[in-house]
Amino acid sequence: MGLRGEVFSTRVIAGGRTYFFNVKENRHGDLYLNLVESKFQEEGGGFERRSILVFEEDLSLFLEGLQSAVDFLKNREGSSSKS
């Protein structure tokens, strides 16, 4: 087990945001996905962080929902006209 239960971690920097994809293990040996968005706040100079947890048993349903949302966005991009 890694630092704070992390067994895998990667990040994506996109514009002013950084996304972290962390696979962690709890003290019972259960794995879960921790998704974190971090964004620099000009006021105050700190970082704003948001986090969600997706447990291993829910991962398939989560991915189905995510894929549906991505498909919707991709289809909308092709059909939307900006005025």
Structure confidence by residue, pLDDT tens digits, 31-75: 999 999 999 988 888 999 999 999 999 999 999 999 999 999 999
Residue for token digits 């991009």? 77
pLDDT digits (tens, 9 = 90+) for 1-31: 555 689 999 999 999 999 999 999 998 889 9
Q: Residue 67 sits in a domain of what CATH number?
A: 3.10.450.700
**Number of structural domains in the chain:** 1
Residue 33 belongs to domain spanning: 3-79
Side-chain half-sphere CA neighbours of 53 within 13 A: 9
> Would you report the helix, strand and coil content of the chain in percent, each value rounded to 5?
35, 45, 25
- The C-alpha atoms of residue 61 and residue 43 are separated, in whole angstroms, by 38
